[in-house]
Chain A
């Protein structure tokens, strides 16, 4: 699979042909696609939220966020970045923060491919660990990360209601 980040003598603005799946770096023109997919996943219609989130990732590490495109629309996305100093973790750590795959396209290894791309980028950025936080109630997501080889970490989440 060709990496979407290395531009060779190919396309700059990539679109998928019918039936074809494309994993590529997220672009500003995906704002709608991501907003719509989030809506389908039950988040409601929240364009401002996604404009803000995507702008955040794009200005910090625009090669990290990836989308999956099929049949001309966004059917999956994964947002994250490499940070250092978080929770006293001095070494650069990749954080996967938001994921979503269209329910109509699940079970086709789209989530896995999105993860492979973002992990490859984290490695290029010098990260040796990747972390994520999964809600105890989200068994599906936990199953997904386990299938990718993620293991429960010693870093335990704590929270206090304010």
Chain B
């Protein structure tokens, strides 16, 4: 198992560094304090890692056993277009999550938890860089009119509100969101990366292993704080209550489920050999995993509340509270956290814009449903633009003013600045390089 280190052309690398200075201003603090929190861990580096020695043959789909494409132009038309869309979406999520985390990073109460998130943000930057490397290292002309540099410019120009996937357009309201996002949304990321490890486009497959390794820590950067907060909540802490965590889960889980794509879809990816599982199958595994995450967090609560009991007894109590919904040893069902029904608060996929309640119960009246949502979502989130946008669409769908299909596709706000649009007020991230000195290849040079 070994990796090869790669860089993107200097002008693009500089664009990412400029982006980092804007959206990840604490990067220098991270590097300066790295050894204090992560002694002897490999230092962070902005680069792409390609895994060596991966499978050369397509591992699933119609062309199983045939050689994987090492260049984009060798992919069949529709597979290539599909893959290009996936790479751009993946890149958008990596950069998008940094913008979200940055909003509330400074509000952490614990220095270690904050530093973990900061490291995770830097690694997301590397993940974005890894995807930009795929875009800039190959020729995508067969599938896109935009050049590699233009695609990079477009991705770097996205903001919360104009990213490709919904979860990355939702603002964070408190540090609870930073941890919940890592525990739930990065977990979806883990599924996407693990599936893309089989990609019929070999450079994509080779990009996944190192990203996946880093993802393991991202999950813990969310899971561990959530567990600690639940323990403190059990001891009566007023800072973060189990209700706060519950509401954050209600806010993020529906977006996480939607990241798998429509429950009826995913067959195309499998056919093209880009992923081994359809959307519903991956989503189902994810749900099981999140159930065990939640059970673990609840155990931390019960053990803290009843320190004298054995772990077997704690398990019994947990099962009883959850299954029978009753108060046991003074711990009520409401004291613990639970997963909302998968149809709750959805805007994409099979249950999009259904009036499905937190427990899956159905509502007839939109206003009544809105009151129900109000009870289950964080106050600060309801005051934000994402919720407003959702409610507007929900009302339009149920008044017959917009087709469901159009509502599902609607973006909150297409403030995607940058690119070549002359009317945009954007900064340009990618600045053309001065002509190279004689004898040097443009772009062949590693960044300074």
Q: Say whether A161 faces chain B, with CB atoms less than 8 Å apart.
A: no
Q: Name the residue on A nearest B284 (C-beta).
A: A13
Give the segment of A28-36, A93-101, A104-112, A144-152 that binds chain B.
A28-36
Q: Name the residue on B nearest A58 (C-beta).
A: B216
Q: Which of A38-91 contact B (CB under 8 A)?
A: 39-40, 45, 47-48, 51, 54-55, 58-63
Q: Say whether A15 faces chain B, with CB atoms less than 8 Å apart.
A: yes
B38 near A59 (CB under 8 angstroms)?
Answer: yes
Q: Say whether A131 faces chain B, with CB atoms less than 8 Å apart.
A: no
Q: Say whether B295 faces chain A, with CB atoms less than 8 Å apart.
A: yes
Q: Say whether B277 faces chain A, with CB atoms less than 8 Å apart.
A: yes
Complexed CA–CA distance, A93 and B190 (Å)? 29
Q: Say whether B102 faces chain A, with CB atoms less than 8 Å apart.
A: no
Complexed CA–CA distance, A29 and B276 (Å)? 23
B213 near A63 (CB under 8 angstroms)?
Answer: yes
A13 near B293 (CB under 8 angstroms)?
Answer: no
B285 near A12 (CB under 8 angstroms)?
Answer: yes
Complexed CA–CA distance, A27 and B285 (Å)? 14
Complexed CA–CA distance, A59 and B228 (Å)? 19
Q: Say whether A20 faces chain B, with CB atoms less than 8 Å apart.
A: no
Q: Say whether A156 faces chain B, with CB atoms less than 8 Å apart.
A: no
B224 near A62 (CB under 8 angstroms)?
Answer: no
Q: Say whether B217 faces chain A, with CB atoms less than 8 Å apart.
A: yes
Complexed CA–CA distance, A51 and B288 (Å)? 21
B220 near A7 (CB under 8 angstroms)?
Answer: no
Known contacts: A8-B276, A62-B213, A63-B213. The answer to whether A15 contacts B288 by CB under 8 A is yes
Q: Which of A1-15 contact B (CB under 8 A)?
A: 7-13, 15
Expressed in whole angstroms, the minimum distance between the Cβ of B165 and any Cβ of chain A is 19
Q: Say whether B299 faces chain A, with CB atoms less than 8 Å apart.
A: yes
Complexed CA–CA distance, A16 and B1 (Å)? 27
B285 near A7 (CB under 8 angstroms)?
Answer: no
How many A-B residue contacts, CB cutoff 8 Å? 85
A126 near B311 (CB under 8 angstroms)?
Answer: no
Known contacts: A12-B194, A47-B231. The answer to whether A60 contacts B311 by CB under 8 A is no
Q: Which of B200-223 contact A (CB under 8 A)?
A: 213, 216-217, 219-220, 223
Known contacts: A32-B296, A58-B216, A59-B216. The answer to whether A9 contacts B224 by CB under 8 A is no
Expressed in whole angstroms, the minimum distance between the Cβ of B205 and any Cβ of chain A is 11
Complexed CA–CA distance, A9 and B307 (Å)? 43
CB contacts (< 8 Å) of B219 on chain A: these are 27-28
Q: Among the interface residues A10, A62, A126, which one has the most CB atoms of the partner chain B within 10 A?
A: A62
Q: Name the residue on A nearest B195 (C-beta).
A: A12
Complexed CA–CA distance, A31 and B220 (Å)? 10
Q: Name the residue on B nearest A40 (C-beta).
A: B311
CB contacts (< 8 Å) of B288 on chain A: these are 13, 15
Q: Say whether A124 faces chain B, with CB atoms less than 8 Å apart.
A: yes
Q: Say whether B369 faces chain A, with CB atoms less than 8 Å apart.
A: no
CB contacts (< 8 Å) of B198 on chain A: these are 7-9
A29 near B217 (CB under 8 angstroms)?
Answer: no
B224 near A55 (CB under 8 angstroms)?
Answer: yes
Q: Which of B309-368 contact A (CB under 8 A)?
A: 311
B227 near A31 (CB under 8 angstroms)?
Answer: yes
Q: Name the residue on A nearest B299 (C-beta).
A: A32
Complexed CA–CA distance, A51 and B292 (Å)? 16
CB contacts (< 8 Å) of B223 on chain A: these are 28-29, 31
Complexed CA–CA distance, A9 and B286 (Å)? 16
A9 near B289 (CB under 8 angstroms)?
Answer: no
A59 near B2 (CB under 8 angstroms)?
Answer: no
Complexed CA–CA distance, A58 and B214 (Å)? 8
Q: Say whether B117 faces chain A, with CB atoms less than 8 Å apart.
A: no
Known contacts: A9-B60, A29-B296, A63-B213. The answer to whether A55 contacts B220 by CB under 8 A is yes
A36 near B311 (CB under 8 angstroms)?
Answer: yes
Expressed in whole angstroms, the minimum distance between the Cβ of A27 and any Cβ of chain B is 8
B38 near A9 (CB under 8 angstroms)?
Answer: no
B282 near A51 (CB under 8 angstroms)?
Answer: no
Q: Which of B223-238 contact A (CB under 8 A)?
A: 223-224, 227-228, 231
Produce 1/0 per residue, B181-199, CB < 8 A to A: 0000000001100110110
Q: Say whether B303 faces chain A, with CB atoms less than 8 Å apart.
A: yes
CB contacts (< 8 Å) of A55 on chain B: these are 116, 217, 220, 224
B303 near A47 (CB under 8 angstroms)?
Answer: yes
Expressed in whole angstroms, the minimum distance between the Cβ of B101 and any Cβ of chain A is 17
Complexed CA–CA distance, A20 and B389 (Å)? 48
CB contacts (< 8 Å) of A11 on chain B: these are 285
Produce 1/0 per residue, B393-431, CB < 8 A to A: 000000000000000000000000000000000000000
Known contacts: A8-B276, A47-B303. The answer to whether A59 contacts B220 by CB under 8 A is yes
26 A-B residue pairings within 8 Å (CB atoms): A8-B198, A9-B60, A11-B285, A12-B190, A12-B282, A13-B289, A27-B216, A27-B219, A28-B216, A28-B220, A28-B223, A39-B311, A40-B311, A47-B227, A48-B228, A51-B220, A51-B224, A51-B227, A55-B217, A59-B41, A59-B216, A59-B217, A59-B220, A60-B42, A61-B213, A63-B213
Given contacts A11-B285, A12-B194, A59-B41, 10 further A-B contacts (CB under 8 A): A7-B194, A9-B60, A12-B195, A32-B295, A45-B311, A48-B228, A55-B224, A59-B119, A60-B41, A61-B213
